[in-house]
Amino acid sequence: MLSEVFWIAFVSTASGMIIKLASMAYKTKCKECSMCCLKITRDVELEERENEFEIIHNQSSSKNKVNDVNEVNEVNEEKESAV
């Protein structure tokens, strides 16, 4: 029979691995991600827009903001023309 220490270590390690896999799946910019029996489908376009918004609004100088807005608009136009 195995000791309690082994089971605590085993459960902790297994839980840590599951949490790490979930965090890696969340950080990917893939629309669909499947691991083993787990399949995650999400809308990454909204996340990209949120990241762009944060980048634009966290700049300190207004000159950088104007340039970033223009760059984001160009990227959005390219995405729309590709669709």
Question: For the chain, where are the E strands, in sequence order?
Answer: 32-35, 38-41
Q: Which residues contact 48 (CB under 8 A, 6 or more apart)?
A: 29
Structure confidence by residue, pLDDT tens digits, 12-36: 999 999 898 878 777 777 777 777 7
Domain match, 56 and 81 both: yes
Q: Is the pLDDT assigned to residue 5 strictly greater than 80?
A: yes
Residue 12, phi then psi, degrees to nearest 5: -60, -45
Whether 51 and 37 share a structural domain: no
Is the same domain home to 38 and 2? yes
More confident residue, 11 or 30: 11
* 32 touches 39 (CB < 8 A): yes
Q: 34 and 6 in one domain?
A: yes
Residues 68, 37 share a domain: no
Q: Supply the pTM of this predicted model.
A: 0.42
Q: Tell me, yes or no, whether 33 and 50 share the same domain.
A: no
My answer on whether 52 and 78 are in the same domain is yes
Domain count, the chain: 2
